[in-house]
């Protein structure tokens, strides 16, 4: 009888421990969530700043962010392969079907030249003519007698799409343009080539290149905000509203809070 009672006690203890283990695993599964975000490399630069601040306050939510280009991000959101798609341009009519948009920041597209280039100011028309190949020498815009080396983003880039729409050269890019898949490539090429011109997100400008003024307005967050800097665009998160997880909604709501927008304002323009 004593052996039987001991066996029952051991079995009961084992069952209890197993139940406790299952409860813990179940609890972790319920409280830990992943939000997948993909798209524009320009918006990704902002996400790299927002991600640690959000996760510090929401330890049970893990943001998985990757850069793949605006078009790919919008498509992924439409197909439901990510929770949130990132776009650095306005959506085309055919891209709006089945998804909702939320603007989380504004950004200027800086026209950059080599730090030694004496040209300090261009008009939108001059920029357009440079990128269509109508203007090919810096002397035509007040610079030295040197051929202009045109640097651009790849065709799927949201930065390129926004740039072409804003300056009015959609699908008219010169075939002589040297194209890069990311902001870093454009900036590096302009930094090392004294004859180059490129365009990147305003928040990515640093001391390696110079951002020229456009029609007298410097490329700055203040001038984008007040409308005097004319080459600007929205940063958008795209999602399927009916399929949005609680964790994704929590992050989406957070992006427009004063705390998040204070981070936005460090390099970009707040939507508040």
pLDDT digits (tens, 9 = 90+) for 54-88: 999 999 999 999 998 899 999 999 999 999 999 99
pLDDT of residue 226: 87
| DSSP alpha helix (H) spans, the chain | 2-31, 41-57, 70-79, 124-132, 158-167, 183-192, 221-226, 246-254, 258-267
Q: Looking at residue 266, what is its pLDDT?
A: 87
Q: Is the pLDDT of residue 211 over 60?
A: yes
252 has a pLDDT exceeding 70: yes
pLDDT band at 256 (very low <50, low <70, confident <90, very high): very high
Tell me the three state secondary structure of residue 41: helix
Output the pLDDT for position 179.
97
Angle at CA 253, nearest 5°, toward 88 and 71? 25
Q: What is the pLDDT of residues 12-45, one digit of tens each?
A: 444 444 444 444 344 444 568 999 999 998 899 8
- What are the start-end ranges of the H helices in 183-257? 183-192, 221-226, 246-254
CATH superfamily of 107-232: Periplasmic binding protein-like II (3.40.190.10)
Look at phi and psi of residue 90 and say left if phi exceeds 0, alpha if psi is from -120 to 50, else beta: beta
Tokens coding 27: 């609890």
Per-residue confidence (pLDDT) for residue 31, from 0 to 100: 61
Provide the pLDDT for residue 227.
Answer: 87
pTM of the predicted model, to two decimals? 0.68
129-165 confidence digits (pLDDT tens): 999 999 999 999 999 999 999 999 998 888 898 899 8
Query: Can you tell me the distance from the alpha carbon of 159 to that of 182, in angstroms, rounded to the nearest whole number?
Result: 10
Q: Is the dihedral of CA 209, 215, 216, 217 positive or negative?
A: negative
Instruction: Using alpha carbons, select from 27, 58, 5 the residue that is nearest to residue 255.
Output: 58
Structure tokens at 253: 């709501």
The reply to whether domains 31-106+234-267 and 107-232 share a CATH topology is yes
Domains of the chain, residue spans? 31-106+234-267, 107-232
The matching CATH number, chosen from 3.40.1260.10, 3.40.470.10, 3.40.190.10, 3.40.50.720, for 31-106+234-267 is: 3.40.190.10
Give residue 5's pLDDT.
44
For residue 146, how many other CB atoms are within 10 A of its CB? Answer: 12
Q: Is 95 helix (H, G, I), strand (E, B) or coil?
A: helix
Range in 54-58, 224-228, 255-259 with the lowest mean pLDDT: 224-228
């Amino acid at each position: 009888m004593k052996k039987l009672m001991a066996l029952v006690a051991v079995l009961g203890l084992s069952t209890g421990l197993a139940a406790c283990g299952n409860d813990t695993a179940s609890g972790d599964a319920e409280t830990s969530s992943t939000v997948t975000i993909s798209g524009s490399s320009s918006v990704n630069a902002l996400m790299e700043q927002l991600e640690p601040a959000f996760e510090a306050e929401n330890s049970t939510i893990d943001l998985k962010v990757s850069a793949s280009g605006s078009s790919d991000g919008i498509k992924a959101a439409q197909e439901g392969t990510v929770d949130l798609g990132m776009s650095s341009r306005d959506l085309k009519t055919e891209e709006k079907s089945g998804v909702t948009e939320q603007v989380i920041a504004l950004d200027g597209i800086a026209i950059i030249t080599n730090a030694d280039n004496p040209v300090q100011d261009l008009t939108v028309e001059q920029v357009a003519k440079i990128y269509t190949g109508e203007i090919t020498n810096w002397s035509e815009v007040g610079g030295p007698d040197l051929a202009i080396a045109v640097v651009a983003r790849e065709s799927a880039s949201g930065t390129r799409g926004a740039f072409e729409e804003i300056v009015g050269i959609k699908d008219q890019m010169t075939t002589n343009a040297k194209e890069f898949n990311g902001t870093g490539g454009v900036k590096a090429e302009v930094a090392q080539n004294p004859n180059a011109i490129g365009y990147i997100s305003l928040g990515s400008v640093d001391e390696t290149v110079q951002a020229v003024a456009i029609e007298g307005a410097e490329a700055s967050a203040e001038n984008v905000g007040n409308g005097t800097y004319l080459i600007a665009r929205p940063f958008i998160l795209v999602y399927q509203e009916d399929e949005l997880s609680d964790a994704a909604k929590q992050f989406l709501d957070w992006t427009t809070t004063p705390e998040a927008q204070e981070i936005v304002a460090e390099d970009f323009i707040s939507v508040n």
